Amino acid sequence: MCTNIVYEWLKTLQLPQYAESFVDNGYDDLEVCKQIGDPDLDAIGVAVPHHRRRIHEAVRRLKEADETAAGLYFTLEPQP
């Protein structure tokens, strides 16, 4: 089983059984997961309606978190 950010995300959604399918279909990063739609869930094999709703809701929250943080940025500068 994969242990990456997508696995951890799916685990919090109580859907870890889809982690391998997500990664196999190229959804190995939350940035990519933000683009998931119904055709993607079909390809991944998420057929259970309430699982699909749970994923769609989580994707919406990920996008909202991005909008909230859109005004924030930082730079990596060496410390003296």
Query: Domains in the chain, ordered, with CATH?
Result: 3-70 (1.10.150.50)
Distances (CA, A) of 77 to 6, 30, 46, 56, 80: 29, 26, 43, 37, 9
In angstroms, the CA 17 to CA 47 distance is 12
Task: Encode pLDDT of 23-76 as tens digits.
Answer: 999 999 999 999 999 999 999 999 999 999 999 999 999 988 877 665 555 556
Question: Which pLDDT does position 1 carry in this prediction?
Answer: 43
Render the chain in DSSP notation, one character per residue: ---SHHHHHHHHTT-GGGHHHHHHTT--SHHHHTT--HHHHHHHT---HHHHHHHHHHHHHHHHHHHHHTT---------
Is the pLDDT confidence value at 21 over 80? yes
